[in-house]
Structure 1
Amino acid sequence: MFPELSQGDILAISKALADTEYGFTGSELGVLLKQYGFSDENPTMTKYKRLYNSFVKRCNSDESCNSIYMFIQKCMDPARGLMDEEKYAKRRMETNKILMLKGIEIDDGGNFRAVQKARGVSEVTRRTRELRQKLYGYGAHQYVLRCCKEELLAEDYFHAVQEAAKSLCDRVREMTELPGDGNELIQIAFSSKNPYIALNSLRTSSEQNQQNGLKEMILGIIHMVRNVTAHELRIRWDIDENAAVDVLQQVSFLHKYLDQCVIVRKYTE
């Protein structure tokens, strides 16, 4: 059973889906409305008003807002993002900002899932500001601060932590130009015998232990955070602000060590 939508909710959803910058075009809306059984009485009307009128008429007819949720889910089919991933992501994010007030969101697989209900639209901005302030106070690395943007926190701390964990592999690929991901990438990049990245000269056993320690710490974040958030349902791996700060601090700590590393050689083929 989906949460009820107010007139304001329906209007906001209509504006998100029909936005000039990232929303559907007028012709695309016409196809979608017809395909999913919505009336389209005035195709020349402003896009969001046209969509809003279609939604309201269908809800009044059905005496339910479930048809709007169905429409949103069809619009967020991941296949629709293949041609323009940036617009698709922005459209989903803006729609989720509205839905999070109802305790629901649509994930990147195009499916609805429960999330912590937001108390107001300002909560997203508040969370962003407070979390960033805490991390600034701890001297967080710039790579981590990039993962604490409003668009990520709009979908709860889960997504900020996931992106921060992913940033470690991204950073290693950027430094080494190695392909691959996860365990394989890190093992090759930080090999003590033939490394692409070195924390020190690797001449002594202590230096080799330091190199191995950095490698294992990065792998720990990958296994404990990134792999879990990538494969586990968000509702089964919830994370609050304090836990998010702890994880983000650890990722920041590792990025600072990567700052000290030397690129031994570039990957060529």
Structure 2
Amino acid sequence: MAIIKNFDLASLETICKILGETNIGLSGTEITKYLSECGITDPQINSTKWKRLYDALSFKQNEDRCANNVCAFILHVMRPSRHVQKQEWFENIRSQLNYVLSFEGLEITESGELKPANKVKNFSEAEERAQNLRRSLLDRKIHPDVLFFCKAELLVDNYFHTVFEATKSIAEKIRIKTNLTTDGAELVDQAFSYKDKIPYLALSSLSTESQRSEQKGFMNLLKGVFGTFRNTTAHAPKITWNIEEQDALDILSTVSLIHRKLDKAVEARKIYEGSF
């Protein structure tokens, strides 16, 4: 690894606060374990978790005169295989860390690697992009569930993660409305398919061919969004799948339409008695 210059102490402090956050951060036992595994001395001067981390990492950075071992510790903590059972936690913490790391010109990828990123010089750059996107979406009367994802930390580099998170919200809403646990095309089929059974969710009474065609078309739209945007952003490196602002606006408008349809979708069993 090339020499990584010392992190600004304010950045390092914020990183330690994210990793040592009281409710969702690392436990004290985990901090001890990971510092030891990375060969970083734990001075244990402070009982507060984030302060312990800050003492250990700032001392190591000062001793090394570079941030390489600090970065190695962060990547050790954020190794994806360590968080298979808590992927939501991984993405949440990675997003917060990347917001801070952007001020150092770095980013943690989906695969848990460190790569150079466009360096943000101040908070206003990221906040301005978020506000501009939000204003444009408000002009389109976008669904509030989509506006939730217009966060500065998701827009530090480009619109990649905003689209990714927004499309994930579609599947989550379907799961909440149906209590199903699957994902992707399988979830769509289980929730909306009306062949030889009453579906979990229906856009209408499905009593006419036109209504049934609408239900089928909506299923295809959902599968298309998952396959084109969510699955691509989940697996493709961001550098090879760049999303510009206009693309993001159009994709998020589609996601908004889907959310409105889902809000109006009803449990088919409340409409019908018996089977189709």
Q: TM-score range by the shorter chain?
A: 0.7 to 0.9
Equivalent position to 1:215, from 210, 216, 219: 219
Structure 1 segment 29-178 matched on structure 2, within 5 A? 29-40=31-42, 42-45=43-46, 51-78=53-80, 81=83, 91-154=93-156, 156-178=158-180
Give the drift of 1:208.
Answer: 2.4
1:103, distance to aligned residue in structure 2 (A): 3.2
Give, in angstroms, the shift of residue 38 of structure 1. Answer: 2.5
SS at match of 1:265: helix
Do residues 233 (structure 1) and 237 (structure 2) align? yes
How far the C-alpha of 1:136 sits from its partner, in A, is 1.6
CA distance in 2, matches of 1:259, 1:88: 29
Cα distance, 1:86 vs. partner?
7.3
The alignment's TM-score, normalised by the length of structure 1, stands at 0.81
Deviation (angstroms), 1:220? 1.3
The amino acid that maps onto 1:38 is I
Q: Which moved more, 1:70-79 or 1:227-236?
A: 70-79
Q: Equivalent residue of 1:105, what SS?
A: strand
Q: How much identity, in percent, do the aligned residues show? A: 37
Q: TM-score, normalised by structure 2?
A: 0.79
Q: Which moved more, 1:238-247 or 1:27-36?
A: 27-36
- Does the 8 Å CA contact 1:22/1:88 hold for their aligned counterparts? no
Of 179, 204, 228, the match for 1:224:
228
- CA positional deviation for 1:139: 1.0
Q: Residue 6 of structure 2 aligns with which residue?
A: 5
Displacement after TM superposition at 1:219 (Å): 1.4
Please tell me whether the aligned partners of residues 96 and 155 of structure 1 are also in contact (alpha carbons under 8 angstroms): no
Residue ranges of structure 1 left out of the alignment (5+ in a row): none
Letter in 2 for 1:4: K
Tell me how many residue pairs correspond in the alignment: 265
1:187 Cα deviation after fit: 2.5
**Measured at CA, do residues 243 and 62 of structure 1 come closer, stay the same or move farther in structure 2, by a change above 3 Å?**
same
Classify 1:155/1:83 alpha carbon distance in 2 versus 1 (closer, same or farther; 3 Å): farther
For the aligned residues, what is the CA RMSD? 3.1
Deviation at 1:259, TM superposition (A): 2.9
